[in-house]
Amino acid sequence: MQTYRMKHTVVAAFVLALTVASAAAQEIPRIPEAAVKSAQQAFQLALSTTQKTQTFEAMGLRSDAESRQAVLGAPIVLQEIGYDKLVAYQPSNPPQSVFAGPDQLLFPVMVGKSARSLITMVKSGDAWRMTSYGDPDRAGAVEAAKAALQKEKASGASSPPSFRVVSAPAFQFDLVAVTIGSKTYLSALSPTAAAEFGLPPIAELPEVVGKLSLYAKDFDAKYGEQIRQRQLAK
């Protein structure tokens, strides 16, 4: 059963999520030039390593020839939803209040118009550093979710929409978001996972936060104290 597997998977992810910083991200930050420069350096390093070790699949590439066509795509803001903020969330709170964590960006590795993998950059102090690269399945899912939002919600937009990725790491649940006027719509990378939370494939931000909050409160009532005691015992 999907629900059974999810509950046991999120127990491990929850421990990591407790370490996420609590500063709320109320607005989508602009893309700093320093982040782009650091990402380009990280991309060249990752690509060089891939070419030397001939492990092209790690970056979603099929051959050495493709690796020489790969370029770094436009960055996507990554916003994390804090587990503790979901547990504390009340319907009277603004849904943006659940965002937490450091500034993060995803840079797709592109071959032509296809996103093959992702490079994750995180702000640490005044600098940006790469925390991971690869994850071709996630890269493809992000592109698919963006296409779904573009078709269903943003096709008539007067200007090109700005997409971002919203992640609830405690539940290993990711969505792509786009804001049109006063509303923010989200498309889950996994419709199956969205159904676990009682969400449709595309939903507005208040519904997403509300459903995730209910799930978090129920989860915390069942497992939270047990996990916190295990942390204290270490």
pLDDT tens track for 177-200? 999 989 999 999 999 999 999 999
Question: What pLDDT is attached to residue 230?
Answer: 74
Q: Which domain holds residue 139?
A: 2-29+73-115+135-232
Specify the long-range contacts of residues 201-206, CB closer than 8 Å, at least 24 apart. Answer: 201/148, 202/148, 202/149, 202/152, 202/153, 205/95, 205/96, 205/177, 206/95
Question: What pLDDT is attached to residue 232?
Answer: 52
- Is 11 domain-assigned? yes
- Is 48 domain-assigned? no
Q: How far is it, in rounded angstroms, from Cα 151 to Cα 174?
A: 19
**What mean pLDDT value characterizes the chain?**
87
Question: What pLDDT is attached to residue 12?
Answer: 39
Question: What pLDDT is attached to residue 155?
Answer: 85
* Greater pLDDT, 154 or 132: 132
* Backbone dihedral angles phi then psi of residue 35, each to the nearest 5 degrees: -70, -40
- Is 146 domain-assigned? yes
Report how many domains make up the chain: 1
In whole angstroms, how far apart are CA 187 and each of 35, 88, 170? 26, 24, 18
- Is 171 domain-assigned? yes
Residues 24-35: what's their mean pLDDT? 65
- Is 60 domain-assigned? no
pLDDT tens digit string along 76-101?
999 999 999 999 999 999 999 999 98
CB-CB contact of 27 with 108 (8 Å): no
Q: Check whether 75 has a pLDDT greater than 70.
A: yes
- Is 159 domain-assigned? yes
Integer-rounded Cα radius of gyration of the chain:
18
- Is 202 domain-assigned? yes
Q: How far is it, in rounded angstroms, from Cα 52 to Cα 47?
A: 9
- Is 122 domain-assigned? no
